[in-house]
Protein backbone atom coordinates (compact mmCIF):
# COMPACT_ATOMS: atom_id res chain seq x y z
CA UNK A 1 0.00 0.00 0.00
CA UNK A 2 1.79 3.10 -1.28
CA UNK A 3 0.84 6.59 -0.09
CA UNK A 4 1.25 9.45 -2.54
CA UNK A 5 0.85 13.14 -1.60
CA UNK A 6 0.19 15.55 -4.47
CA UNK A 7 -1.40 18.88 -5.28
CA UNK A 8 -5.10 18.70 -5.92
CA UNK A 9 -6.21 18.77 -9.55
CA UNK A 10 -9.38 20.32 -10.90
CA UNK A 11 -10.97 16.89 -11.23
CA UNK A 12 -10.52 16.22 -7.47
CA UNK A 13 -13.04 18.77 -6.14
CA UNK A 14 -16.04 16.43 -5.79
CA UNK A 15 -13.91 13.69 -4.23
CA UNK A 16 -12.42 16.15 -1.75
CA UNK A 17 -15.90 17.38 -0.83
CA UNK A 18 -17.16 13.85 -0.17
CA UNK A 19 -14.02 12.88 1.75
CA UNK A 20 -14.20 16.00 3.94
CA UNK A 21 -17.88 15.51 4.72
CA UNK A 22 -17.26 11.88 5.67
CA UNK A 23 -14.17 12.67 7.76
CA UNK A 24 -16.07 15.21 9.89
CA UNK A 25 -19.46 13.45 9.99
CA UNK A 26 -19.10 12.20 13.58
CA UNK A 27 -16.47 14.67 14.79
CA UNK A 28 -17.14 16.66 17.93
CA UNK A 29 -16.52 20.40 18.19
CA UNK A 30 -17.35 21.13 14.56
CA UNK A 31 -20.09 22.86 12.63
CA UNK A 32 -19.94 20.09 9.97
CA UNK A 33 -19.36 22.69 7.25
CA UNK A 34 -15.74 21.88 6.46
CA UNK A 35 -16.52 20.62 2.96
CA UNK A 36 -18.35 23.88 2.22
CA UNK A 37 -15.38 25.89 3.51
CA UNK A 38 -12.97 24.11 1.15
CA UNK A 39 -15.31 24.66 -1.79
CA UNK A 40 -15.79 28.35 -0.92
CA UNK A 41 -12.03 28.87 -0.57
CA UNK A 42 -11.50 27.25 -3.97
CA UNK A 43 -14.21 29.41 -5.60
CA UNK A 44 -12.68 32.55 -4.07
CA UNK A 45 -9.21 31.64 -5.30
CA UNK A 46 -7.96 31.50 -1.70
CA UNK A 47 -7.02 27.83 -1.50
CA UNK A 48 -3.29 28.59 -1.42
CA UNK A 49 -2.17 25.01 -0.82
CA UNK A 50 -4.43 22.03 -1.34
CA UNK A 51 -2.84 18.60 -1.07
CA UNK A 52 -4.43 15.19 -1.40
CA UNK A 53 -3.23 11.84 -0.12
CA UNK A 54 -3.82 8.90 -2.43
CA UNK A 55 -3.56 5.17 -1.97
CA UNK A 56 -3.80 3.15 -5.17
CA UNK A 57 -5.48 6.08 -6.94
CA UNK A 58 -8.10 6.64 -4.22
CA UNK A 59 -8.08 9.98 -2.42
CA UNK A 60 -8.03 9.19 1.30
CA UNK A 61 -6.88 12.51 2.74
CA UNK A 62 -6.83 16.24 2.10
CA UNK A 63 -5.31 19.35 3.67
CA UNK A 64 -6.08 22.99 2.91
CA UNK A 65 -4.15 26.18 3.58
CA UNK A 66 -5.45 29.71 3.00
CA UNK A 67 -4.27 33.23 3.80
CA UNK A 68 -5.30 34.89 7.07
CA UNK A 69 -5.28 38.52 8.15
CA UNK A 70 -3.71 39.68 11.40
CA UNK A 71 -4.84 42.92 13.00
CA UNK A 72 -1.28 44.21 13.51
CA UNK A 73 -0.77 44.21 9.73
CA UNK A 74 1.59 41.22 9.63
CA UNK A 75 1.57 39.84 6.12
CA UNK A 76 2.04 36.43 4.56
CA UNK A 77 0.57 34.30 7.35
CA UNK A 78 -1.64 31.34 6.56
CA UNK A 79 -4.34 29.30 8.23
CA UNK A 80 -4.18 25.53 8.04
CA UNK A 81 -7.38 23.57 7.79
CA UNK A 82 -9.41 21.73 7.37
CA UNK A 83 -7.38 18.54 7.30
CA UNK A 84 -9.40 15.41 6.51
CA UNK A 85 -8.67 11.69 6.41
CA UNK A 86 -11.28 9.07 5.62
CA UNK A 87 -12.31 7.36 8.87
CA UNK A 88 -11.27 3.96 7.48
CA UNK A 89 -7.73 5.32 6.95
CA UNK A 90 -7.29 7.30 10.16
CA UNK A 91 -4.56 6.34 12.65
CA UNK A 92 -2.26 5.17 9.82
CA UNK A 93 -0.02 8.25 9.56
CA UNK A 94 -1.79 9.89 6.63
CA UNK A 95 -2.61 13.06 8.57
CA UNK A 96 0.99 13.22 9.75
CA UNK A 97 2.29 12.93 6.18
CA UNK A 98 -0.10 15.64 4.99
CA UNK A 99 1.04 17.92 7.82
CA UNK A 100 4.72 17.35 7.03
CA UNK A 101 4.19 18.04 3.33
CA UNK A 102 2.15 21.19 3.89
CA UNK A 103 4.69 22.61 6.37
CA UNK A 104 7.46 21.97 3.84
CA UNK A 105 5.38 23.69 1.16
CA UNK A 106 4.84 26.72 3.43
CA UNK A 107 8.58 26.93 4.12
CA UNK A 108 9.29 26.85 0.37
CA UNK A 109 6.96 29.82 -0.18
CA UNK A 110 8.82 31.83 2.45
CA UNK A 111 5.71 32.16 4.63
CA UNK A 112 6.47 33.71 8.02
CA UNK A 113 4.04 31.38 9.77
CA UNK A 114 0.82 29.45 10.00
CA UNK A 115 -2.05 29.22 12.47
CA UNK A 116 -4.67 26.58 13.11
CA UNK A 117 -7.54 25.68 15.37
CA UNK A 118 -7.27 22.12 16.63
CA UNK A 119 -6.17 19.53 19.15
CA UNK A 120 -2.99 20.74 20.90
CA UNK A 121 -1.83 17.16 21.52
CA UNK A 122 -1.86 16.33 17.81
CA UNK A 123 -0.37 19.53 16.43
CA UNK A 124 2.41 20.18 18.94
CA UNK A 125 4.49 17.41 17.36
CA UNK A 126 4.75 19.63 14.26
CA UNK A 127 5.90 22.64 16.26
CA UNK A 128 2.54 24.36 16.68
CA UNK A 129 2.04 26.02 20.04
CA UNK A 130 -0.09 28.61 21.77
CA UNK A 131 1.41 32.05 21.28
CA UNK A 132 -0.47 34.49 23.52
CA UNK A 133 0.19 37.41 21.15
CA UNK A 134 -1.72 35.72 18.33
CA UNK A 135 -5.42 35.30 19.11
CA UNK A 136 -8.64 34.10 17.52
CA UNK A 137 -11.69 35.54 19.23
CA UNK A 138 -14.39 33.24 20.47
CA UNK A 139 -12.34 30.07 20.87
CA UNK A 140 -10.54 28.61 23.88
CA UNK A 141 -6.97 29.92 23.54
CA UNK A 142 -5.39 26.50 24.12
CA UNK A 143 -6.87 25.28 20.81
CA UNK A 144 -5.60 28.16 18.68
CA UNK A 145 -1.97 27.52 17.83
CA UNK A 146 0.72 28.97 15.63
CA UNK A 147 3.84 27.77 13.90
CA UNK A 148 6.25 30.66 13.37
CA UNK A 149 8.56 29.96 10.43
CA UNK A 150 10.48 33.22 10.82
CA UNK A 151 11.67 35.16 13.86
CA UNK A 152 9.06 37.93 14.02
CA UNK A 153 5.90 37.01 15.93
CA UNK A 154 2.72 38.96 15.14
CA UNK A 155 0.76 40.60 17.92
CA UNK A 156 -2.89 40.70 17.01
CA UNK A 157 -6.16 39.04 16.25
CA UNK A 158 -6.40 36.60 13.36
CA UNK A 159 -9.24 36.73 10.85
CA UNK A 160 -9.88 33.85 8.47
CA UNK A 161 -11.30 34.38 4.97
CA UNK A 162 -15.08 34.79 4.80
CA UNK A 163 -15.24 31.32 3.21
CA UNK A 164 -14.96 29.94 6.74
CA UNK A 165 -18.57 31.12 7.23
CA UNK A 166 -19.85 28.96 4.33
CA UNK A 167 -22.94 26.92 5.20
CA UNK A 168 -23.49 25.17 1.87
Q: pTM, whole model, 2 decimals? A: 0.95
Q: List alpha helices for the chain, DSSP H.
A: 13-24, 34-44, 94-109, 120-123
Residue-range definition of the domain harbouring residue 68 = 3-165
**CA-closest candidate to residue 64, choices 12, 25, 110:** 12
Question: What gap in Å lies between CA 74 and CA 26, rounded to an integer?
Answer: 36
**For residue range 7-42, what is the model confidence (pLDDT) as tens digits?**
999 999 999 999 999 999 988 777 889 999 999 999
Q: How many folded domains does the chain comprise?
A: 1
**CA-closest candidate to residue 65, choices 119, 32, 107:** 107
Domain of residue 8, CATH code: 3.40.630.30
pLDDT score of 31: 80
Low-confidence ranges of the chain (pLDDT < 70): 1
Cite the beta strand spans of 22-155 per DSSP E: 49-55, 58-70, 78-85, 113-117, 134-135, 144-148
Amino acid sequence: MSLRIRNESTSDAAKIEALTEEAFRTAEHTSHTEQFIVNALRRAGKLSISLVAEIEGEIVGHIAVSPVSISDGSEGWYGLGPISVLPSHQKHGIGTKLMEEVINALKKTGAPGCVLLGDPLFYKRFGFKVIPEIILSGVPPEYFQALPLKAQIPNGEVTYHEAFNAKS
